[in-house]
Chain A
Amino acid sequence: MKRRKLATRALPTVLLLATLLASAPAVHACGLENPSSVNVGLLNLAYPNALHVRTAIWIAQRDGVLAPFDAAAMVEPQSPDFLLRQMSLLRGIQGQFAALKAGMDASGAREVPAFSVVLLGVVLWTRFEAGDTGLNMTVHAPGPGGDDVVVVTDAPVIAALADGRLTPAEARRRGLMRTYGTVQGVQGVERFLDGVASVKSAAAERFVATMTDRIRTD
């Protein structure tokens, strides 16, 4: 109570912002707990024009490049089944990333710089780092590593990449995915991802099928 009073007296210009945050815990591991506009908004400053991805996505949805927008999938944080729905969403995303990772491993991942993918809608971070036996993947990471290349995109794009309906190059061309980092890092990650797209492996397809079945039975 005291903190709130202090905050509202102290910085009225961000009152609305404080309102958005007031209902959530002070520390958020990621947007899955608090998918507030502030997290997304500040990403637009940290990664210039990251919000352009969101616009590119609805245009792609409108044009049939991506699956249509599903308003019913949007659940407000105050909803009783919010966490349940978010967990289900997370499982789906994990499955899609796992499928992508299978393709990445198959294409040889030793040389790729570490990179992190952030999904705009839920501000969910997934980190990839080359390891001895392939890529190490951490879904729901606390954030990007210090020197990571950052890929900004969203769940519908990951879904389309995972099932091979879209290539990373096409996603970038359409603005569905933007890459941030050093020139060398960005080139390295983009080259790597483009290589993955061309080897949509049987292993990846099997993985998708497995994960899909698992999600359905959950």
Chain B
Amino acid sequence: MNKRRFLTMSIAAGLLLPAFGAHAQDAGAPDKAKLEKAFPAKPNFSPYAGRNFPTMPLFGDTHLHTGFSMDAGAFGARLTPRDAYKFARGEEITSNSGQPVKLSRPLDFLVVADHSDGMGFFPLLMSGDPTLLATPQGRQWYDLIRGGKGGEAALDIIRSFGQQKLPTGFPLPGTPAYRNAWGETIKAAEAYNEPGRFTAFIGFEWTSNTGGNNLHRNVIFRGNGTQAALVEPYTTLPPFGSDNPVDLWKYMAATQDKTGTEVLAIAHNGNMSNGRMFPMVEAFGKKIDREYAQNRARWEPLYEMTQTKGTGEAHPFLSPNDEFADFELWDKGNLDGSVPKTRDMLEFEYARSALKIGLRLEDVLGVNPYKFGMIGSSDAHTGLAAMEEDNFFGKTAPQEPSPERMTKVFFADPKTGVKVMDWEVGASGYAAVWATENTREAIFDAMKRRETYATTGPRMAVRFFGGWDFAAADASNRMPAAVGYAKGVPMGGDLAKAPNGKAPTFLVAALKDAIGANLDRIQVVKGWVDKDGRTQEKVYDVVWSGNRKPGADGKLPPVGNTVDVANATWTNTIGAPELITVWKDPQFDPKQRAFYYARVIEIPTPRWTAYDAKRFGVKPLPETRMVLQERAYTAPIWYTP
């Protein structure tokens, strides 16, 4: 027998023998458990087949206004919801100021969230609506605006609205004009919603602003146009609406009952609420109780913590040891500038602080009202979700690119001294959502489970998992999500009751924006309630680029700066294209509530002002920020004893 034939026969015998043996030992029915043990399940050859978890982040904007919003219209926005969806999905359009504009790459989803109060008013008026113009008031406003006295008209509109002396034809809830504006909003979303490619959500902004204090929420529908058309948006002015979030939640509950679909609300700009966004004791004259906490947690799973009117993650006054807390802040006053900011307000305005307050309230009420994930969005009033630093089309139509926006005042109140310059408007941000597919339902569900993160503009991919058994070797896995979902919970999730002797471990990974800047570092921000019932926080640098070593103070040296401000450019010669690590909490106490979220910092890059200075040849004002370190913030993972 030659060697080859022997080998063949040996293999055949090897294959046959176990079968004969099994037959000989078991004359009855096969035992399923034994069979499974005998032939253990093996993964597919393709590691990508059969995955049941989200595999790529979807980027979008949940907060965009068009000319249908009263203030956007007053600022000259002519773009409609249809224009907004077209632009977001990657088409080139003409901006309100006549400039061709296109995103560097399409967004995956968009919510047109026009203000519910007075929706569609200015387009209606200026179209010469016969019902409105038949009234002396409507005719007067029309003539004033045509005469260049839009400001005067706007003041009269405000007065008339306050006194509820509005002309026939004004779009109030229940009127044909209002239903028409809402109907157009819905139709636009339906027309541009393309499951699998681009998601056009139906939504609106509820704009509570009593006393000039911003308590705004964007309301998003999971369902379709037929369902959304069964209701009208909730407004703030009695008798149709209310400025109290509690009433908004009641509306949301009723809406779900009536439409058969789900809704959620996303608050934003706590920084302009003057201490009212995240109340700890009372709101609207009523004590914060368990019911408030339950409703807030139920209806508001996300918080928009970065946008054009500032980034609201942390404040240097609240977090003096966090060298990255001073980032694109708007901390001068409330929304209308009528009341300047005081330090005692800050604790109830910023996301990190709110997360800490939430832990304390959970101790008392048994429910955490501020258990939210992070997202960013634009709040642009232009119909353009154009939040790229080199492609920034401003917050309002007059702020679309021109040499003037480098030096112009955005708004000022000489009585209070609150003043904001155009250059202080931020080119931020976007919402990143780990959804299983690009559909309304999948994205909405991901938002509900808080599997989201905020970016200030760049589209870096960020993973964040928490569990008890992540090991250093997991950071070497080229498929961190596979190990992340297998051994832990993703961002937005919960860890409970630490196994004996174990501390939570976190697998965190970030991949740079494909056309963006390298990464400086990833940090984990921890907040907790100590044994005395006080909230604490700490920021850990967990992985970083290069060979930097933390100093004696524990601080990592800066990554460096390659920005050429004069030419508005930079190089990726510093930083890292990807960062990944496993981190274990070194100060864990299993008896203390805690949250953990990741913050990913890019290397320095030119701010939009640097691009403007270069392109328009305009000298910036001395205080103008020209460089920034863009970033992403993940939803937290909470630990509950």
Chain A residues close to B by CB (< 8 Å)? 3-24, 26-28, 30-31, 34, 36-49, 51-56, 58, 61-62, 68-69, 71, 74, 76-78, 118, 123, 125, 142-144, 175
Contact = CB atoms under 8 A, between A and B. Distances in A.
A37 B398 contact: yes
Interface in B41-72: 67, 69-71
Contacts of B191: none
A16 B77 CA distance: 15
B501 interface: no
A20 B151 CA distance: 9
Interface of A is mostly: helix
A14 B401 CA distance: 23
Contacts of A74: 404, 407-408
Nearest to B420: A19
B207 A40 contact: no
B413 A23 contact: yes
Contacts of B618: 69, 71
Given A14-B158, A23-B412, A71-B403, A41 B338 contact: no
B554 interface: no
B97 A54 contact: yes
Contacts of B184: none
Given A10-B161, A16-B71, A26 B403 contact: no
B313 interface: no
Contacts of B616: 58, 62, 69
Interface in B397-431: 397-398, 400-404, 406-409, 411-415, 419
Contact of A71 (B98, B209, B415, B619): B619
Contacts of A12: 115, 117, 207-210, 236, 243
B167 interface: no
Given A13-B115, A144-B146, A51 B336 contact: no
Contacts of A20: 151, 411
Contact of A15 (B71, B123, B126, B409): B71
A15 B162 CA distance: 12
B420 to A, nearest CB: 9
B163 interface: yes
B76 A78 contact: no
Interface residues of B, number: 73
Given A55-B97, A78-B409, 9 more contacts: A11-B237, A22-B336, A41-B396, A42-B148, A42-B153, A55-B401, A118-B148, A123-B148, A144-B148
The 6 A-B residue pairs whose C-beta atoms are closest, nearest first, are: A42-B150, A52-B98, A143-B147, A10-B162, A12-B209, A41-B76
Contact of B147 (A54, A76, A144): A144
A6 B419 contact: no
B74 interface: yes
B312 interface: no
Given A9-B162, A123-B148, A71 B407 contact: yes
A28 B413 CA distance: 17
Contact of A11 (B152, B161, B398): B161
B230 interface: no
A198 B456 CA distance: 54
B502 interface: no
A21 B151 CA distance: 7
Contacts of A11: 70, 117-118, 157-158, 161-162, 237
A15 B336 contact: yes
Nearest to A13: B115
Contacts of B406: 71
Contact of A17 (B96, B117, B154, B415): B154
A125 B148 CA distance: 8
A47 B207 CA distance: 29
B150 to A, nearest CB: 3
Contacts of A45: 67, 73, 76, 78, 122-123, 126, 145
9 contacts: A12-B236, A13-B117, A14-B71, A38-B151, A45-B122, A45-B126, A69-B617, A78-B414, A142-B147
B150 A7 contact: no
A40 B145 CA distance: 10
B23 to A, nearest CB: 79
Nearest to B402: A58
Contact of A46 (B126, B161, B163, B212): B126
Interface string B374-411: 00000000000000000000001110111110111101
Nearest to A146: B143
Given A51-B397, A62-B616, A78 B98 contact: no
Contacts of A62: 616-617
B619 A44 contact: no
Given A22-B413, A54-B402, A46 B146 contact: yes
Contacts of B163: 6, 10
Q: In this complex, which of A15, A24, A61 has the most chain B Cβ atoms within 10 angstroms of its Cβ? A: A15
Contacts of B402: 54-55, 58
B119 to A, nearest CB: 9
A18 B157 CA distance: 10
A140 B117 CA distance: 35
A62 B115 CA distance: 37
Contacts of B155: 18, 21, 26
Contacts of A30: 148
B335 interface: yes
A143 B209 contact: no
A60 to B, nearest CB: 12
B75 interface: yes
A38 B338 contact: no
A41 B150 contact: yes
Interface string B112-129: 000111100011001000
Contact of B75 (A21, A38, A53): A38
A69 B403 contact: yes
B337 interface: yes
A106 to B, nearest CB: 29
Given A28-B149, A76-B409, A142-B147, A44 B117 contact: no
Contact of A58 (B67, B126, B151, B403): B403
Contacts of B149: 28, 39, 143
B180 interface: no
Interface string B330-352: 00000111100000000000000
A41 B75 contact: yes
Contacts of B153: 42
B98 A55 contact: yes
